[in-house]
Structure 1
């Protein structure tokens, strides 16, 4: 079957030349123009979406750094609280030690003071007995009208009186 194309019937030589020029033009486009177009498209993508992606990456990195710093800060706060607690315990121990030492010193002072008071009381009591005895003998001498010192000293009347008490 032969179809009559009329004026549209192509001649083989211009058809071959057209096809050769088409392949040559496609080669030039593929070799020079398409790489340039691809480079421009990549630059535009990098300028728009690439920056957004890098910004998201930087944001994620900054968030990771922030979390790490917060962990460090929490650890530092925990360490500070532990140090405060340690020094509070040391302070309480120092206060307790000072209080115990003060109580020991007070007890020692009280014991020394009580001993001194007991010694003073004994001296005062002996001196008072002596003075009371002398006053009693002197009064007895006035009542009797004669001195009774020799009789009182000989009989030890005053000493016996205080011994009975």
Structure 2
């Protein structure tokens, strides 16, 4: 009686050979440099401490500032934390300034400043416990755009 299983060793050998050829024949594909984080926004630290802090974040509006107790202080539980730095701003920024900078840039959309939560909350386009503080399209939008474009 003739065995039909004779073809299986040949098929198995062929499969192993094909697997080796495929495995050895495919090199690593270079995908280029690792892309930046999505919506990475790292505008000028100098512009931040010279203009954004005094003209936007520390500016009193209607008798209140962003960093007032229960608004955006460290205990507020909000995403944006605005605590007045106590050190002198130098470059690189000291830790207190850097924490403030990071908090603000996390709310900034560099690719479309007008859609930044940092702006949309204070100009009334998004809900903000502190209410509408500035007019849409005003000087604050221009300031943030200048910050994003600053060298």
With normalisation by structure 1, the TM-score equals: 0.23
Whose RCO is larger (CA < 8 A, sep 6+)? 2
With normalisation by structure 2, the TM-score equals: 0.24
**Which structure shows the higher helix fraction?**
1
